[in-house]
Amino acid sequence: MKKLLLILMIMVSPVMAFSLFDSDTGSDKAYLHLVSSIKNVAISTQKTRGLTNSFMNGNVVAQMLVYAQREQMMKDFKAIKKLSKEAKLPKNYSDESAVLMKKLKKLNKKAFKRKSGEVFAAYTGMIEEWIALNGKIIDSHFKTGNQGVYAAVSMLNSTLLPLTENIGKLRGMGSGIVARGVCKDTETPKMQGFVTNIEKYRAEMKSYLDKDALSKLSKNDLTAINTKIADYANLTQNRVIGKEAITLDANKFFDQGTACIGGVLKVYNAAESDIESRL
């Protein structure tokens, strides 16, 4: 009897040990990397939207850049699939991301066959869906854990990503306006709204960073990033919104917006690094 019990203990112990270390959910780091990969798809979609709008309003140089950006988007999809497995993402969220990928691929194929305003709105809707999915993933994994970490990860998705999105909208619609040479009456309130939102999210970013400094970014770095964004908004306000006979270069205008988004992504990467060091 004793020998039988001993054999059973030896057989069961590895199973018990495995169950102790196995989990139905991935690590905090795995989820943080997944959140970042979804951010990358949003950024790729922002750039695709902007270049597509610029091309469809007369900037023929942008066409090849559109195709290059679509290729980047496909690479971002692969990263999401890989990181979803590593994070052991629940099936409902994996299924939702798969649907969004399929919709984006379909939109890319039909974009040049539709009106520019419709395409701009369709890409914007897709970006909003990715950000919303990211928010649900963040809440599902981080909300019941360390509240400081939850607040920091939420800030990435609810402040920094919307900031890039509104700069992206200003860049995308604005470069189309500049390529055309005139701002339509229907575009003026939309562009003004983007500028207002940029200031809102920029203020939120500053408020957060005033309380939680980032180890990899100095105050001078943050000042330079904020100044660049403010200058871009002012340029758009003074020389694009509601203007006729616009003489700016569409490609340079687009590149200036990209540089502003790059600045926000520096903040994102520094914040993500600080969060990861706490996990």
List C-alpha distances in Å: 270 to 203, 216, 254, 267: 18, 6, 25, 5
Please report the pLDDT score of residue 1 as a whole number. 55
Please report the pLDDT score of residue 146 as a whole number. 95
10-residue mean pLDDT profile of the chain (279 residues): values are 51 45 76 98 97 95 95 97 97 98 97 96 98 98 96 97 98 97 97 97 92 90 95 97 96 97 97 95
Residues whose CB falls within 8 Å of the CB of residue 246, separated by 6 or more in sequence, listed in order: 177, 178, 181, 182, 183, 239, 240
Please report the pLDDT score of residue 26 as a whole number. 84
Do the Cβ atoms of 206 and 84 come closer than 8 Å? no
Please report the pLDDT score of residue 36 as a whole number. 98
CA 10 to chain centre: 50
Do the Cβ atoms of 136 and 31 come closer than 8 Å? no
Please report the pLDDT score of residue 25 as a whole number. 74
Please report the pLDDT score of residue 16 as a whole number. 45
Please report the pLDDT score of residue 152 as a whole number. 96
If we measure between CA atoms, which residue out of 220, 229, 174, 240 comes closest to residue 201?
229
